[in-house]
Chains A and B, each alone.
Chain A
Amino acid sequence: MEYRVNDRGYYGQFGGAFIPEMLYPNVEELRDKYLGILQEPDFQEELQELLRDYVGRPTPLYHAKRLSEKYNTKIYLKREDLNHTGAHKINNTVGQILLAKRLGKTRIIAETGAGQHGVATATVCALAGLECIVYMGKIDTERQRPNVEKMRLLGATVVPVTSGSQTLKDATNEAIRDWINHPEDTHYIIGSVVGPHPYPDMVARFQAVISEEIRKQLLEKEGRELPDYVVACVGGGSNAAGAFYHFLDDPSVKLVAVEAAGLGVDSGHSAATSMLGKTGIIHGSKTLLMQTEDGQITEPYSISAGLDYPGVGPQHAHLAQTGRARFIAITDADAMEALRELSRLEGIIPAIESSHALAALKEINAGPDEVVVLNLSGRGDKDLSTILTYFEQQDASK
């Protein structure tokens, strides 16, 4: 079974480039050039140097002893939370900014939901000295004020999006519309493994450094490259795509993708796309998609602003459909409990997104002799006000 993209831009039946003609030349240019640029020795040299000295890679693979004891198995945390800007997002933006420069682009656009990808993009634009415009749903600009301020401090222009439901999917629409209006000087840095081919593959390749490091680090620590489980949360799915990448063809490694169930998969307030979605087209990609019977895209819900995307990357749709990855949905309540648990057991405050992956530990029932690698995609600093409000309300209702 092939789990990576084929030469037509598909993963099984998912993927492709369902884009209007106005976007065709931009996407075609990227499609024709990205692999060549990624293979250039001076590109790789520049990328590796930035990943090491600027992002802070390799990130540690940390044996979480107290957490392991609690779940009676051996758990390693891949510390993507220790990256510059606090999450895995920068692995991709560093790569794409170097690519944009080689394509001769002078203007960078991005979408952002919670603001993490926006901050990671604004950061690399400052580094490269390129103009940066970030589209963010108006509702998100209000709930993620500190990230808006960070992006502005970094010199980016943040455009609040008032169309549609004013959240991530609309911010993405607006970034795509900007690209239509600026077909020549602009590169669009998509933040996840979504969008038209070649984005899902390109972003996965930039995130694949996560699993590349895991293999090496596990060999040092355990004397074997392959864990029994790799666990990661999935919204669009970029951190999971990176954590799974170099294990896709090792069938002994069980891949676990954790989606946000919100208030419950069947509650009507959920973001569990693999369970609630049907095949459709969103942002230029054929994938599983939450939608009405009439094919209108619906607004997902999760307490985590990084997981409430109505679609999922086409590779993940393929992994779900073929059964290569097991998909688990975790509720807000279970994720928040796992967040507090890691904070108190290990002294690490995880992002709410990553807490969904942590909450899946009790679902997978790994044995005492098994090794679990959990991708801790981001840190919880950005979520502090959501976390405090959540626990205050919970205490008040007791």
Chain B
Amino acid sequence: MPQNRLTRLFQEKSGNLLNIYFTAGYPKLEDTVTILEELEAAGADLVEIGMPFSDPLADGPTIQASNQVALENGMSIKMLLSQLAQVRERVSFPIILMGYLNPVMQYGFERFCEEAARVGVDGLILPDLPFAEYEEEYKPVLEKHGLSLIFLITPQTSEARIRQIDGLTNSFIYMVSSASTTGSQVQASDAQQAYYAKVRSLGLKNPVLIGFGISDKPSFELACQSAHGAIIGSAFIKALQKPAEVRENVRSFLKTLR
């Protein structure tokens, strides 16, 4: 596997990594590259772009609604990849595409990987892709195009399975903070701290970023004490709903974090 921007990032920076999620085509169809530019300028270390889907099973109301608006705006995989065609002239931080499997399947997985890699995408999150299918069908294609696949773990994921995931991936592990869909209000608890400590004690080869329920500076900083960084999604989507211009919304939200 050739070294990509993700592996380089984790070599250069080992903590306080800020990963921001946003839905492609939201709030406006043409906002994608603008948001990317502002995020990098304002100090995000990497970004996760959601490819909207009609039925986002793992997402709470905020991201569901952004998916729906993005689809109504006309967003599609084809549209997103065309928007990203020149993105590497504008930003240099790692870009991950997150999406449910069905739209990717319909686009054609090989074609999708080839085109995503060509525009400069570094990794994928496909939350509903099972291991067995990944290993048999999808892994060779991802490797051929130099894309990393990022897996999720939750408080219910067994140690054996966490180790299996650690062996399958080569970028980072997405640690879901609690049993929930995205955007839930997660109270820091002893159980959660114990889960974070357990994962830390496993000595995994990959860095770990915590996501779900991370919404502001205190929750971001708390997560960073237990992992290499954290992912903010729903709270950023909410920030994009503010009346100001999109660049201003990105800047002022990031200012509250950094």
* A residues with CB within 8 A of B: 8, 16-22, 24-25, 163-164, 169-170, 173, 176-177, 180-184, 278-284, 289, 291, 293-298
Provide the bound-state CA to CA distance between A364 and B71, in Å.
42
Instruction: Kindly name the residue among A280, A281, A282 whose own CB sees the greatest number of chain B CB atoms within 10 A.
Output: A281
Residue from B76, B100, B103, B104 whose CB has the most chain A CB atoms within 10 Å: B103
**Which residue of the partner chain, among A181, A182, A279, A296, contacts B71 with CB atoms under 8 Å?**
A296
Nearest CB of A to B210, in Å? 14
Please pick, from B55, B101, B156, the residue contacting A173 in the complex, using a CB distance under 8 A. B55
- Which of B35-43, B129-137, B194-202, B225-233 lies at the interface with chain A? B129-137
| B13 contacts partner chain A, Cβ-Cβ < 8 Å | no
A21 and B104 contacting across the interface, CB-CB below 8 Å: no
Residues of B within 8 A of A17 (CB): 130
Q: A8 CA to B161 CA in the complex, in Å? A: 18
Contact B154 A22 (CB under 8 A): yes
A297–B179 contact, CB under 8 A? no
With contacts A18-B130, A25-B157 known, is A173 near B105, CB below 8 A? no
Is A20 a contact partner of B127 (Cβ separation < 8 A)? yes
Name the residue of chain A whose CB is nearest to the CB of B56. Answer: A173
Bound-state CA distance A284–B107 (Å) is 19
Bound state CA distance, A295 and B153, in angstroms? 26
Contact bitstring B136-152, A, C-beta under 8 A = 1, else 0: 00000000000000011
> Which 6 pairs, one residue from A and one from B, show the smallest C-beta to C-beta distance?
A295-B106, A295-B103, A20-B127, A21-B152, A25-B156, A296-B54
Q: Quick check: B128 and A18 within 8 Å, CB to CB?
A: yes
Once the chains are docked, how many angstroms separate the CA of A88 from the CA of B77? 41
| Contact, CB under 8 Å: A181 / B55 | no
B152 x A20 contact (CB < 8 A): yes
A21 interface neighbour in B71, B176, B180, Cβ under 8 Å: B176
- Does B188 belong to the interface (CB within 8 Å)? no
Q: Other CB < 8 Å A-B pairs besides A19-B128, A182-B179, A298-B54, 14 of them?
A: A18-B129, A21-B151, A22-B156, A22-B181, A24-B156, A25-B156, A164-B68, A177-B57, A177-B181, A181-B184, A281-B101, A291-B102, A295-B77, A296-B71
Q: Mark B49-66, 1 if CB is under 8 A from A, else 0.
A: 000011101101100100
**If the complex has contacts A17-B130, A281-B105, are A297 and B57 also in contact, measured as CB distance less than 8 A?**
no
Also in contact, A295 and B71, with CB within 8 A (given A21-B154, A25-B156): no
Q: What separation, in Å, do the CA atoms of A18 and B133 have in the docked complex?
A: 9
| Nearest A-chain residue to B151, judged by Cβ | A21
Inter-chain contacts of B151 with A (CB < 8 A): 21
Q: Is the CB of B128 within 8 A of A20?
A: yes
Question: Range of interface residues on chain B?
Answer: 35 or more
Ordered by A's residue number, 29 sampled pairs between the chains whose C-beta atoms are within 8 Å are A8-B132, A17-B130, A18-B128, A18-B129, A18-B130, A20-B57, A20-B127, A21-B157, A22-B176, A22-B181, A24-B154, A24-B156, A24-B157, A25-B156, A163-B64, A169-B55, A177-B60, A177-B181, A180-B57, A181-B180, A181-B181, A183-B179, A184-B156, A278-B106, A289-B102, A293-B106, A295-B53, A296-B53, A296-B71
**Closest-CB distance, A163 to chain B (whole angstroms):** 5
Give the chain B neighbours of A16 by CB distance below 8 A: 130, 133
Question: What is the minimal beta-carbon distance from A190 to any residue of chain B, in angstroms?
Answer: 14
The verdict on A20 contacting B104 (CB below 8 Å), with A25-B156, A180-B179, A183-B156 known, is no
B75: nearest chain-A partner, CB-CB: A294
Inter-subunit contact A294/B76 (CB<8 Å): yes
Q: How far is the CB of A42 from chain B (nearest CB, A)?
A: 29
A281→B54 contact, CB < 8 A: no
Q: Which residues of A contact B60 (CB under 8 A)?
A: 177
Residues of A within 8 A of B53 (CB): 295-296
| Distance from A370 Cβ to chain B, minimum over Cβ atoms (Å) | 41
B101/A164 in contact, CB under 8 A? no
Which residue from chain B places its CB closest to the CB of A19 in the assembled complex? B128
- Report yes or no: B179 in contact with A181, Cβ–Cβ below 8 A: yes
Knowing A182-B179, A296-B71 are in contact, say whether A18-B106 is a contact too (CB < 8 A). no
Give CA–CA (A25, B160) in the complex, Å: 13
**Contacting residue for B127 out of A21, A164, A295, A297, CB 8 A:** A21
Indicate if the CB atoms of B128 and A294 lie closer than 8 Å.
no
Which chain A residues lie closer than 8 Å to B157 at the CB level? 21, 24-25
